Chains A and B, each alone.
Chain A
Amino acid sequence: MRELWRKPFWPLVVLLLLNLVLAPGFFAVRLQDGRLYGSLVDILHNGAPVALMALGMTLVIATRGIDLSVGAIVAICGAVTCAWIAASPDPTSPGAAIGGIGVALGLAVALGAWNGFLVSVLGIQPIIATLVLMTAGRGLAQLVTDGQIITVNNPLFSAIAGGELLAVPLTVIVAAAVYALVALATRRTALGTLVEAVGINPAASRLAGVRARTLIWTVYVFSALCAGVAGLMISSNVNAADANNAGLWLELDAILAVVIGGTSLAGGRFSITGTLFGALTIQTLTTTILSLGIPPEVSLVFKAVVVIVVCLLQSPKARALLGRRRRRRGAAGGAPPADPPPGPPTPDPDRADGAATPIPAQRSTP
């Protein structure tokens, strides 16, 4: 039972229960013009971009890196696509949209390769290497749009966020497909183990024959590509590119989703389902705030409290303290002491410094 608290899905369950009690109609889903319509659909649809970015971030973090530039890449890809469409001879034609999307995704890959080059070849600390693009990237996007919001009216482009397949929004389908592919590639092949090996010890894995440099390069390219697709979703959702605001601070949301999902920032192990739950938790939190009508002045505090509680309950030390208190109270009440007071958290044999693994994601199964 106590193991259950370690699972990354419970904050999501608690939030949904809260809505079940306080927000009637939250779970209602109906068809509207051939598309599913309801708060749950909103969560999946609006959560898809961050979920994708968090997926790329998970692999980067698993190699003991971090990618701060994903928010800027969102802005760049939205800006480039919309600028391309607006500048093409027929802005409503499918060709214009395909051209814009192609250029934007190509640029995303190039930017990811730049990050990967800085980290894997030049050996620059990932936080610094990606900070370069985080600062400069948004400026680049503003340069493309001239600081203006570019509005486009292209049916194919707006279908990225506005379209649906069998009544399910395309954004959800795309995100789910990418998750499934990555889960298969990392858990059904050796790729996942190789990524973890690089994260645990790059030097040793290189000596063992793992091509660490190529792997690190690849995860940054993949992260940028995910951010690029997220950027297309975000700008398609409003049919406009807003270089100043699109993707602003989303890199932090993506990192938060990874952390809530149980992936250690120290690298070496990762959980893809955990990240998915983390991303959905963040979006559910936002939607909950809106549907419960929590005033905007306190909504940030509400968010912060939820995040702190989630992180505390994932921390073995905090949990041990909590458990000890509960037991002591039980003993004072006359009940026979259940079991000896727990010692310090079990040291993790995989961790060199002897500290307990902060967030046991992969190997916590009872």
Chain B
Amino acid sequence: MRWTTESAPRSTIRRPVARLAAAAALALAVTACGGGGGGGDAPADAAAGGEDTIVMGFSQVGAESGWRTANTKSVNDAAAEAGIELKFSDAQQKQENQIKAIRSFIQQRVDVIAFSPVVESGWDTVLMEAKRANIPVILTDRAVDSADTSLYATFLGSDFVEEGKKAGQWLLEQPESSAGPVNIVELQGTTGSAPAIDRQEGFAEVIAGNPNLKVIASQTGDFTRSGGKQVMEAFLKAHPDIDVLYAHNDDMGLGAIEAIEAAGKVPGQDIKIITVDAVKDGMQALADGKINFIVECNPLLGGQLMDLAKKVVAGEQIPPRVVTEETTFDQAAAKEALPTRQY
């Protein structure tokens, strides 16, 4: 008991200090999450605007990527253009912020609520409150898993399975695919996330039609450049005969390009690369010939969202699922699109 006895009184002296520090840390964390983007509370002024302007409450996930920032900008611009008053709230990746924001939208009696759910589950209660207040809800970009589909008017977003299919379809159409066996490696997104599961599924479904096409390895790169690079390094050592890389987003593909170059191979030629997203860095690599094909995952859904909002407020019928308008890019198309690319 040499040091325990001695340090015991010390720790009692320290305890209030530690407690104070804990409180300070907590306060810091709360301000860090609540500050900045306006937090969960939407501005309380302007009760529901004028008679004929539509007021939309929009709760965004956060600002975690260039894709998301472009998405926010698109919604803001489209609202201004359509003459819809937008109450914007940034949830900073937290569901509780988002629920708070939706409740505040309900209290302010907005005409329509739109939001990109941070997670899939746990929305039934707050969506029920919106339904009781007769405020239609539009989901954007991400879905919720509520069994009761009457809780929201529609879900506007990308079809990730379709994106995977488009990637597979391009590969099917390449002359090499009919010539002989093609060895494919796949860089998956974060394990268990909807885009990773769906993009894998759609791709696998399409390439199953051609026995030449075989996925010889598939690992997660967590949607990051570092992850993509590290996994590709291991792939290149374990499989000397890779023909095609399919990456679930541009960033992993960009990391993999560095690994391929370090292995003395030429990305885009020795190994063909297909990615999804079409962010600016990815489009640049496509224009430079390092990537062969990019399936777009379009964040610019503001225009479509405002159209749907007008229709649902006017009481028109809208389909329960609306897919974002999306395209694909090959190298020539990328060169053309790059100068005007917004994100």
Contacts and interface: CB of A to CB of B under 8 A. Distances in A.
Interface of A: 23, 25-26, 28, 32-33, 35, 37-39, 42, 46, 118, 122-125, 128-129, 131-132, 135-136, 139, 142, 147-149, 151, 162, 200-204, 234, 237-240, 242, 244-246, 286-287, 289-291, 293, 295-297, 299-300, 352-353
Interface residues of B, number: 53
B224 A242 contact: yes
A216 to B, nearest CB: 14
B21 A148 contact: no
B237 A291 contact: yes
A32 B230 CA distance: 17
- The B interface, classified by DSSP as helix, strand, loop or mixed, is helix
A290 B225 contact: no
A128 B237 contact: no
Contacts of A238: 225-226, 229, 254-255, 258
A124 B281 contact: no
Contacts of B65: 147-149, 244
A42 B22 contact: no
Given A149-B66, A291-B234, A123 B262 contact: no
B200 to A, nearest CB: 10
Given A149-B251, A151-B281, A238-B226, A201 B25 contact: no
B201 interface: no
B237 A25 contact: yes
A245 B235 CA distance: 22
B226 A136 contact: no
Nearest to B62: A147
Interface in B192-234: 217-220, 222-227, 229-231, 233-234
Contact of A245 (B62, B224, B234): B224
A134 to B, nearest CB: 9
Contacts of A297: 191
Nearest to B18: A125
A201 B7 contact: yes
B21 A128 contact: yes
Q: B6, B14, B18, B25 — which one has the most chain A CB atoms within 10 A of its CB?
A: B25
Interface string B29-51: 10010000000000000000000
B7 A203 contact: yes
A246 B226 contact: yes
B63 interface: yes
A129 B28 CA distance: 12
Q: B66, B217, B238, B263 — which one has the most chain A CB atoms within 10 A of its CB?
A: B238
Q: A135, A142, A202, A300 — which one has the most chain B CB atoms within 10 A of its CB?
A: A135
Nearest to B217: A293
Contacts of B17: 122-124
A28 B236 CA distance: 13
Contacts of A296: 188, 191, 218-220
Contacts of B231: 290
Contacts of B68: 147
A246 B229 CA distance: 13
A244 B68 CA distance: 13
B7 A287 contact: no
A42 B237 contact: yes
A149 B28 contact: no
A-B residue pairs, 6 tightest by C-beta: A290-B234, A238-B225, A296-B220, A147-B63, A201-B3, A124-B21
Contact of B238 (A147, A234, A293, A300): A293
B28 A132 contact: yes
A290 B229 contact: no
Contact of B14 (A26, A123, A135, A136): A123
Nearest to B17: A123
B147 interface: no
A202 B63 CA distance: 44
A118 B20 CA distance: 12
18 contacts: A37-B262, A46-B230, A46-B233, A125-B14, A128-B18, A131-B25, A135-B28, A135-B29, A136-B32, A149-B251, A162-B262, A203-B7, A238-B258, A242-B224, A290-B230, A295-B218, A296-B218, A353-B4
